[in-house]
């Protein structure tokens, strides 16, 4: 993995205005700045973007202690992100990891996006992210071919963790070395071979189980054959018996069916006899009835002359009845019309009489009293004129009172104007008096200064004038008050007179209008009275002369003439009805005569036919009885034959069931024998498959061991340890002036532990006994050796090396040696980033990334 570009936002001490860090032109650089300004935070941003952990420490149990998300986010912010472009296996990638905090810390969310460049310029990317953050993180580790733990053990000498590999347990060192050598590939092969071996073992067990089950089944094959022979013998014996019994049943069933048909015929004949006997009874009854009807018809025909004479008399009487009925109907209709006309004439006469009564009542009760009031109304109008004259005189007195009130108002206005004038005069006098009091007064006439005498004279004059004006003013006020009281009294009197006059005037006006209305009503009554008397005379003349309803009277006379022409006599009508009643019997007799004459030939023919049919029915009954007698002899054997058939059917069914069961058993046994033969073939095939599976399992077992920890992996580690040891000693000798060396040894008992032996001029000692500076050189040498080993594994130069601090434990000579060591290995790495705060170390590097911290967080610049 080679980083190319890093962009951070709100990550640890960095805010959102941090420039992008470009690694393109950097080979070896120093990341410098004061402690706490954010040097290590940039490397934490790289590990957080790739693996989601920062400032992390792998533990001895395989877990990782790392900072929480809340510790990584800049204080007071709700989101952070890191975006980094990097190359791996010559392919450009971009990873973007973001974290957002929800309201009150809830619903926090982390997203991870992995993209791959789609062009050579690295301008266009497409997403290759997986479904979840975890799956995408696994994909990143696959692309990098290392996880975070391998990274910090090889390429990243983290601050305070330079001794991570050295202080790990021997077992952890062995695991780390295996990861650097990518032995997980062989382990996966071993695991796959072991999985395949277990699968083959299961298949072998299944094949063996099937062989055992099939063998148990094939062992019963002789038994099946013996039972089949027994069943075949039983079938050979039973089949002829069953066939013979079937033929016997068919014969008996046919005979029973024949007798049952005869039985059905017997029942039909029996029913036929019953039906014929019933028909004979009906025919005999019909013959008796026809004989009676024929005798009645002949008797009626014998009395034909008497019947016809009575019937003719009935016809004549009915004709007279019809004429009288018609005359009565017409008379009733005419009587109704006559009554209607008489009622109409009476109504008109009553209407005219009512009009006469109304006119008489109106003349006496209404018109004559109203017409006779006119002289009295004239006298009332003359008296009203005199009252109008008196009211006019009262109006003159009101005008005089109103004029007196106007004079009082004029006096009040005059006195008020005098008071206004005197008030102005008094104010002017007061002003002049005040001027005299101020001194240096001048004469108001000549404008000359006044002496003391002059002032005293004017002062006395002003006082006198003021007193007189005030007295006159007060007198006027009294007079004004008196006039106002008088005016108020006069106004009240005028109002009272006006109210009285207005009331009287309204009353006279209303009375005058009423008299005029009464006069007009009396005159109108005189005119209406004359007209009413004329109408009353006309009404009395019409009633006396009967000159009303002329048309109705004419129609009534015509109806009387028509009714008389009908010549209807009620008594004659009653006698005719009585005579018709006496002759009514001849109507029925005549009808019976006609029926007898028409039906006697028909009845005679029907009687002949009935007697013939009765003879036929009697003959049919006799022949049917003879056939039934013959059938009775044949049907006597039916019960015993039916019993014999039932027994034969039961015997046939028993034989058929035995034969069917035997055939089923034969089919089952033949199927079992055939299945045993198939199973024998399957057993042979399963035995061959079990042998082949055993051979394959043996091969996969050998591969499991070969690719396992004690196989190829052990050989690779054994071959890599000398290279790792030589590389570490070469660097350690360079930085210690060949005073120190180390030795790597695998535990001979288990080969699962990697021990480190460190020696100097004093001998071999434990790692913990060395000083801090010496320990850092040992760690530095081992880390560089591990990185070289990692490069040899991939066949390419080492990608990147991060060294975070550690120089503070060295003296000046040690620092120079470490610097020289870094320079000596710089060509082996694509990029080397050294983090330090020591001033004299900065000048040893061609490129510096200087980190500083301000009010808005940390930032950096490349020098």
In a domain, 301, yes or no: no
The DSSP bridge partners found for residue 764 are 759
Nearest in space to 736 (alpha carbons), one of 829, 655, 816: 816
Start-to-end Cα distance in the chain: 24
pLDDT of the residue at 283: 80
Report, as an integer, the average pLDDT of 567-588.
76
Nearest in space to 728 (alpha carbons), one of 744, 713, 714, 717: 744
How far from chain centre, in Å, is Cα 300? 98
Of residues 415 and 434, which shows the higher confidence score? Answer: 415
Rounded Cα distance between 166 and 785, Å, is: 13
Report, as an integer, the average pLDDT of 153-174.
64
pLDDT of the residue at 750: 52
Domain of residue 782, CATH code: 3.40.50.300
Is residue 164 within 8 Å of 150, Cβ to Cβ? no
Of residues 823 and 139, which shows the higher confidence score? Answer: 139
Own/partner pairs, 727-732, CB within 8 angstroms, 24+ separation = 727/784, 727/785, 727/788, 727/789, 728/781, 728/782, 728/784, 728/785, 729/781, 731/780, 731/781, 731/784, 731/785, 731/821, 731/825, 732/777, 732/778, 732/781
pLDDT of the residue at 749: 57
pLDDT of the residue at 57: 47
pLDDT band at 244 (very low <50, low <70, confident <90, very high): confident
pLDDT band at 21 (very low <50, low <70, confident <90, very high): very high
In a domain, 680, yes or no: no
Report, as an integer, the average pLDDT of 262-277.
81
In a domain, 616, yes or no: no
pLDDT above 80 (res 853): yes
Residues 6+ apart with CB under 8 A from 583: 310, 313, 314, 317
User: Position of tokens 């935070």?
Assistant: 41
pLDDT above 60 (res 478): yes
In a domain, 550, yes or no: no
Give the residue from 545, 572, 598 where a domain finishes: 545
Is residue 391 within 8 Å of 505, Cβ to Cβ? yes
pLDDT of the residue at 159: 55
Structure tokens at 107: 């619903």
Name the DSSP letter for residue 752.
-
pLDDT above 60 (res 567): yes
In a domain, 612, yes or no: no
Q: What pLDDT digit, counting tens, does each position of 379-397 carry?
A: 877 787 877 777 777 777 7
Rounded Cα distance between 237 and 177, Å, is: 88
Helix (H) or strand (E) holding 743: strand 741-746
Is residue 819 within 8 Å of 805, Cβ to Cβ? no
Residues 6+ apart with CB under 8 A from 564: none
Backbone CA torsion sign across 474, 475, 478, 480:
negative
pLDDT of the residue at 61: 42
Rounded Cα distance between 599 and 325, Å, is: 36
Q: How many domains in the chain?
A: 2
In a domain, 340, yes or no: no
pLDDT of the residue at 284: 81
Q: What pLDDT digit, counting tens, does each position of 670-679 carry?
A: 888 888 888 8
Tallying the residues shown for the chain, one arrives at 863
Rounded Cα distance between 653 and 646, Å, is: 11
Name the DSSP letter for residue 77.
-
| Residue 140, burial from CB neighbour count under 10 angstroms (0-12, 13-18, 19+) | buried
What percent of the chain clears pLDDT 70, i.e. is strictly above it?
A: 90
Give the residue from 496, 518, 545 where a domain finishes: 545
Structure tokens at 849: 């990334």
Domain of residue 407, CATH code: 1.10.287.510
Name the DSSP letter for residue 365.
I
Residues 6+ apart with CB under 8 A from 3: 23, 46, 84, 85, 86, 800, 831
pLDDT band at 449 (very low <50, low <70, confident <90, very high): low
The DSSP bridge partners found for residue 8 are 82
Mean pLDDT rounded to a whole number for the chain: 81
- Least reliable range by pLDDT among 179-188, 701-710, 779-788: 179-188
One DSSP character per residue, 106-167 reads: -S-EEEEEEEEE-STTS--EEE---SSHHHHHHHHHHHHT--HHHHHHHTEE-TT-TTHHHH
Domain range for residue 826? 2-193+710-862
Nearest in space to 755 (alpha carbons), one of 168, 84, 249: 168
Of residues 754 and 408, which shows the higher confidence score? Answer: 408
Is residue 851 within 8 Å of 31, Cβ to Cβ? yes
Nearest in space to 143 (alpha carbons), one of 90, 207, 82: 90
Q: For residue 124, which phi and psi values (nearest 5 degrees)?
A: -120, 135
Return the number of other C-beta atoms located less than 10 Å from residue 316's C-beta.
12
Report, as an integer, the average pLDDT of 219-227.
83
In Å, how far are 314, 577, 579, 582, 782 from 572, measured between CA atoms? 16, 9, 11, 16, 167
pLDDT above 80 (res 350): yes
Is residue 69 within 8 Å of 55, Cβ to Cβ? no
Q: For residue 3, which phi and psi values (nearest 5 degrees)?
A: -70, 140
In a domain, 635, yes or no: no
Return the number of other C-beta atoms located less than 10 Å from residue 39's C-beta.
27
Residues 6+ apart with CB under 8 A from 169: 60, 753
Of residues 448 and 711, which shows the higher confidence score? Answer: 711
Nearest in space to 5 (alpha carbons), one of 72, 93, 66, 89: 93
Nearest in space to 44 (alpha carbons), one of 150, 158, 138, 143: 158
Name the DSSP letter for residue 74.
P
- Least reliable range by pLDDT among 154-163, 216-225, 546-555, 711-720: 154-163
How far from chain centre, in Å, is Cα 460? 110
In a domain, 442, yes or no: yes
Own/partner pairs, 17-26, CB within 8 angstroms, 24+ separation = 17/856, 17/859, 18/857, 18/858, 18/859, 18/860, 19/859, 19/860, 19/861, 21/849, 21/860, 21/862, 22/862, 23/831, 25/847, 26/831, 26/833, 26/847, 26/862
Give the residue from 481, 510, 545 where a domain finishes: 545
Is residue 741 within 8 Å of 732, Cβ to Cβ? yes
pLDDT of the residue at 769: 79
Q: How many helices (H) and strands (E) does the chain have?
A: 20, 17
């Amino acid at each position: 993995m080679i980083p190319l570009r890093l962009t951070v936002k709100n990550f640890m001490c960095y805010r959102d205005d941090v420039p992008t860090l470009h690694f393109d032109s950097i080979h070896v650089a120093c990341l410098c700045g004061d402690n706490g300004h954010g040097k290590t935070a940039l490397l934490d941003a790289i590990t957080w973007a790739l693996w989601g952990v920062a400032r992390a420490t792998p533990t001895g149990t395989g877990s990782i202690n790392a900072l929480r998300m809340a510790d990584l986010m800049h204080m007071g912010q709700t989101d952070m992100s890191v975006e980094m472009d990097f190359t791996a296996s010559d392919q450009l990638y971009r990873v973007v990891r973001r974290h957002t905090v929800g309201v009150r810390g809830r619903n926090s969310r982390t997203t991870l996006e992995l993209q791959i460049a789609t062009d050579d310029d690295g301008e266009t990317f497409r997403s290759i992210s997986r479904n979840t953050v975890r799956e995408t993180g696994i994909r990143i580790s696959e692309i990098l071919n290392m996880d975070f733990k391998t990274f910090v053990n090889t390429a990243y000498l983290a601050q305070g963790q330079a001794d991570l590999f050295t202080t790990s347990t021997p077992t952890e060192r062995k695991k780390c070395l295996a990861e650097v050598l990518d032995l997980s590939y062989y382990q996966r092969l071993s695991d796959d071979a072991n999985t395949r071996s277990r699968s083959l073992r299961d298949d072998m067990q299944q094949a063996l189980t099937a062989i055992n089950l099939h063998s148990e089944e094939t062992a019963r094959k002789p038994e099946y054959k013996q039972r089949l022979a027994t069943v075949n013998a039983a079938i050979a014996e039973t089949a002829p018996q069953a066939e013979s019994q079937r033929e016997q049943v068919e014969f008996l069933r046919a005979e029973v069916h024949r007798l049952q048909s005869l039985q059905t015929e017997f029942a039909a004949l029996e029913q036929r006899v019953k039906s014929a006997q019933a028909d004979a009874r009906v025919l005999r009854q019909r013959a008796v009835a026809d004989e009676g009807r024929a005798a009645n018809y002949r008797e009626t025909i014998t009395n034909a002359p008497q019947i016809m004479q009575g019937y003719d008399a009935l016809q004549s009487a009915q004709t007279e009845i019809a004429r009288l009925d018609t005359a009565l109907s017409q008379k009733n209709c005419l009587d109704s019309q006559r009554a209607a006309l008489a009622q109409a004439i009476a109504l008109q006469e009553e209407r005219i009489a009512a009009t006469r009564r109304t006119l008489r009542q109106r003349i006496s009760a209404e018109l004559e009293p109203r017409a006779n009031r006119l002289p009295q109304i004239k006298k009332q109008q003359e008296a009203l004129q005199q009252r109008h004259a008196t009211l006019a005189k009262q109006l003159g007195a009101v005008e005089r009172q109103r004029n007196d009130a106007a004079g009082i108002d004029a006096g009040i206005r005059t006195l008020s104007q005098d008071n206004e004038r005197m008030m102005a005069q008094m104010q002017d006098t007061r002003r002049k008096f005040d001027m005299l009091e101020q001194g240096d007064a001048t004469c108001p006439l000549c404008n000359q200064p006044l002496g003391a005498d002059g002032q005293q004279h004017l002062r006395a004059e002003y006082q006198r004038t003021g007193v007189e004006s005030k007295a006159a003013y007060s007198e006027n006020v009294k007079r004004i008050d008196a006039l106002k009281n008088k005016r108020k009294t006069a106004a009240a009197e005028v109002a009272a007179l006006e109210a009285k006059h207005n009331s009287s005037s309204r009353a006279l006006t209303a009375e005058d209008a009423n008299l005029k209305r009464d006069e007009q009503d009396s005159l109108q009554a005189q005119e209406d009275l004359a007209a009413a008397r004329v109408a009353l005379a006309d009404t009395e003349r019409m009633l006396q002369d009967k000159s009303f309803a002329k048309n109705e009277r004419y129609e009534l006379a015509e109806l009387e003439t028509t009714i008389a022409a009908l010549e209807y006599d009620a008594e004659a009508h009653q006698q005719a009805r009585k005579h018709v009643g006496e002759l009514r019997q001849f109507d029925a007799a005549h009808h019976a005569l006609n029926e007898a004459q028409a039906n006697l030939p028909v009845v005679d023919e029907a009687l002949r036919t009935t007697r013939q049919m009765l003879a036929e029915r009697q003959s049919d009954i006799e022949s049917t009885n003879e056939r039934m007698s013959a059938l009775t002899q044949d049907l006597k054997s039916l019960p015993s034959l039916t019993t014999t058939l039932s027994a034969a059917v039961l015997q046939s069914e028993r034989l058929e069931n035995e034969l069917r069961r035997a055939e089923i058993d034969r089919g089952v046994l033949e199927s079992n024998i055939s299945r045993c033969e198939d199973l024998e073939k399957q057993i042979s095939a399963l035995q061959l498959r079990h042998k082949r599976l055993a051979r394959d399992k043996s091969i996969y077992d050998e591969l499991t061991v070969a690719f396992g920890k004690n196989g190829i992996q052990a050989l690779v580690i054994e071959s890599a340890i000398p290279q790792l040891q030589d590389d570490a000693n070469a660097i350690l000798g360079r930085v210690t002036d060949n005073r120190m060396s180390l030795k790597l040894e695998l535990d001979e008992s288990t080969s699962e532990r990697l021990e480190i032996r460190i020696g100097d001029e004093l001998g071999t000692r434990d790692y913990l006994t060395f000083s801090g500076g010496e320990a850092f050189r040992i760690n530095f040498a081992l880390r560089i050796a591990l990185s070289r080993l990692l490069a040899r594994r991939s066949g390419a130069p080492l990608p990147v090396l991060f060294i975070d601090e550690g120089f503070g434990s060295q003296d000046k000579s040690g620092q120079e040696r470490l610097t020289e060591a870094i320079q000596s290995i710089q060509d082996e790495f694509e990029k080397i980033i050294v983090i330090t705060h020591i001033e004299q170390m900065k000048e040893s590097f061609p490129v510096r990334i200087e980190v500083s911290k301000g009010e808005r967080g940390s930032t950096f610049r490349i020098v």
